[in-house]
């Protein structure tokens, strides 16, 4: 099977944190221990929704050294494809679900002298695990966390209570914004920058850091893309000799999996590169949405990342 190794788990607790965000806690059904992980890792949760298998990646936000349980905090997206809504509305304590082993595409660079973390909204989740990891090793870190308002400040109270000197909160509705240029400008040599939040925030912070001459090695960010709905299209899988119709609200990868073809994947969010697939023939326009392929690969029309990218045209033949 593709993807990271799987773990059967039971939902042991569901905690509503605010209007949008709920925490789900899991224990292994076999009673064993989970693997430890490194802060920033995510898990892919597999949910049976009728005939549909939903697979969504979420950052693990529990303590990386806690092998008794894993937790994720999920923001409800009313406009998405329904994965987070399904979790919020249908998953109950005691349900059996499947998690993947942790995969980290947003790890700390432990050579850093200081870790400067910038979070926006639900982008706080990987930092919660990283902070627990750094606290254990007495790491030097500082968090700047921007939220919409007090009531949507997920984990703000916990963070302020446990780390009053290292946590800075910014409330949008109070016109309270991160002064990013001054913040970046004053950082000591050896600082590494980490950003997790909406795309606009990542682009803004990475842009300002680059303007100030920050080396790319010291800038880390994570943006999970959710596959976007789009016009249905047809794809021929050459190696498996199948023709697959990709529906409006499913991704190309999901359609391939639905037809029983074991396609590689890890992050399902356009970041890790695992699902990269060669195009044999194409007559139409690619809708590339990933962060993985180089611009020239995207223009060449020879490669596609089926987890988030789509196609609009007459013929698409993939080497899968």
Partner 1 sequence: MGLQVCLTGTEGLIGQALRDAIAAGIPHTSIQTEHRGALGRRMQCVHCKGITEDVILDPFVCSHCGLNLFVRDHYSRRLAAFQGVCIDAEDPGNIPESVELYK
Q: Vertex 26, ends 41 and 65: CA angle to 5°? A: 45
Q: How many angstroms from the chain centroid is the CA of residue 85?
A: 16
Residue 217 binds partner 1, judged by CB under 8 A: yes
Residue 184 binds partner 1, judged by CB under 8 A: yes
Residue 182 binds partner 1, judged by CB under 8 A: no
Residue 164 binds partner 1, judged by CB under 8 A: no
The window from 134-142, 156-164, 215-223, 281-289 that contacts partner 1 (CB under 8 A) reads 215-223
Residue 195 binds partner 1, judged by CB under 8 A: no
Nearest Cα residue to 72 out of 164, 147, 9: 9
Residue from 212, 239, 243, 299 touching partner 1 (CB under 8 A): that is 212
Distance in angstroms (rounded) separating the CA atoms of residues 44 and 254: 14
Shortest gap between Cβ of 56 and partner 1 (angstroms)? 34
Q: Vertex 200, ends 309 and 253: CA angle to 5°? A: 15
Size of the site for partner 1 (CB under 8 A): 18
Distance in angstroms (rounded) separating the CA atoms of residues 263 and 272: 14
Task: Kindly tell me which of 1 and 189 has the beta carbon lying closer to partner 1.
Answer: 189
Sign, CA dihedral 141-210-123-270, equals negative
Residue from 188, 200, 260, 294 touching partner 1 (CB under 8 A): that is 188
| Strand (E) or helix (H) holding 85 | helix 83-90
In total, the chain counts a number of residues equal to: 320
Shortest gap between Cβ of 143 and partner 1 (angstroms)? 18
Sign, CA dihedral 147-149-150-152, equals negative
The window from 64-72, 152-160, 211-219, 304-312 that contacts partner 1 (CB under 8 A) reads 211-219
Shortest gap between Cβ of 113 and partner 1 (angstroms)? 5
Residue 137 binds partner 1, judged by CB under 8 A: no
Residue 50 binds partner 1, judged by CB under 8 A: no
Residues 88-117 that bind partner 1 (CB under 8 A): 111-113
Sign, CA dihedral 164-169-173-174, equals positive
Residue 191 binds partner 1, judged by CB under 8 A: yes
The window from 157-165, 213-221, 231-239, 285-293 that contacts partner 1 (CB under 8 A) reads 213-221
The window from 11-19, 137-145, 212-220, 245-253 that contacts partner 1 (CB under 8 A) reads 212-220
Residue from 190, 248, 278, 283 touching partner 1 (CB under 8 A): that is 190
Distance in angstroms (rounded) separating the CA atoms of residues 299 and 286: 9
Residue from 125, 130, 187, 251 touching partner 1 (CB under 8 A): that is 187
Distance in angstroms (rounded) separating the CA atoms of residues 280 and 99: 33
Distinct helix (H) and strand (E) counts, the chain: 7, 17
Residue from 86, 170, 204, 214 touching partner 1 (CB under 8 A): that is 214
Give the pairing type, strands 191-196 and 96-100.
Answer: unpaired
Task: Kindly tell me which of 109 and 285 has the beta carbon lying closer to partner 1.
Answer: 109
> What is the SS3 assignment for 21?
strand
Nearest Cα residue to 183 out of 212, 148, 225, 159: 212
Contact footprint for partner 1 (CB under 8 A): 111-113, 184, 187-191, 193, 209, 212-218
């Amino acid at each position: 099977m593709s993807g990271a190794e799987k773990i059967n788990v039971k939902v042991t607790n569901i905690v509503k944190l605010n209007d949008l965000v709920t925490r789900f806690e899991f224990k292994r059904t076999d009673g064993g221990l989970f693997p430890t992980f490194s802060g920033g890792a995510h898990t892919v949760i597999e949910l049976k929704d009728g005939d549909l298998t939903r697979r969504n990646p979420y950052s693990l936000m529990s303590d990386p050294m806690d092998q008794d349980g894993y937790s994720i905090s999920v923001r409800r997206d009313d406009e998405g494809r329904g994965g987070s809504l399904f979790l919020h509305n249908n998953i109950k304590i005691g349900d059996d679900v499947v998690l993947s082993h942790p995969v980290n595409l947003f790890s700390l660079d432990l050579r850093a002298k200081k870790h400067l973390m910038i979070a926006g909204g639900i982008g706080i989740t990987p930092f919660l695990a990283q902070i627990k990891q750094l606290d254990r090793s007495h790491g030097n870190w500082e968090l700047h966390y921007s939220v919409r308002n007090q009531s949507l400040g997920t984990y703000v109270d916990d963070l302020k209570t446990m780390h009053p000197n290292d946590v800075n909160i910014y409330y949008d509705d109070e016109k309270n914004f991160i002064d990013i240029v001054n913040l970046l400008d004053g950082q000591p040599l050896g600082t590494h920058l980490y950003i997790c939040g909406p795309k606009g925030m990542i682009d803004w912070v990475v842009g300002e850091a680059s303007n100030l001459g920050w080396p790319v090695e010291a800038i880390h960010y994570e943006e999970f893309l959710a596959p976007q709905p789009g016009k249905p299209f047809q794809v021929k899988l050459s190696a498996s000799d199948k023709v697959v119709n990709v529906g409006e609200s499913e991704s190309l990868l999901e359609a391939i999996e639905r037809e029983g073809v074991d396609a590689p994947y890890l992050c399902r969010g356009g970041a890790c590169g695992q699902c990269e697939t060669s195009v044999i023939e194409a007559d139409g326009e690619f809708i590339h949405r990933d962060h993985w392929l180089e611009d020239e690969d995207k223009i060449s029309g020879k490669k596609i990342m089926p987890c988030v990218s789509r196609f609009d045209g007459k013929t698409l033949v993939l080497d899968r």
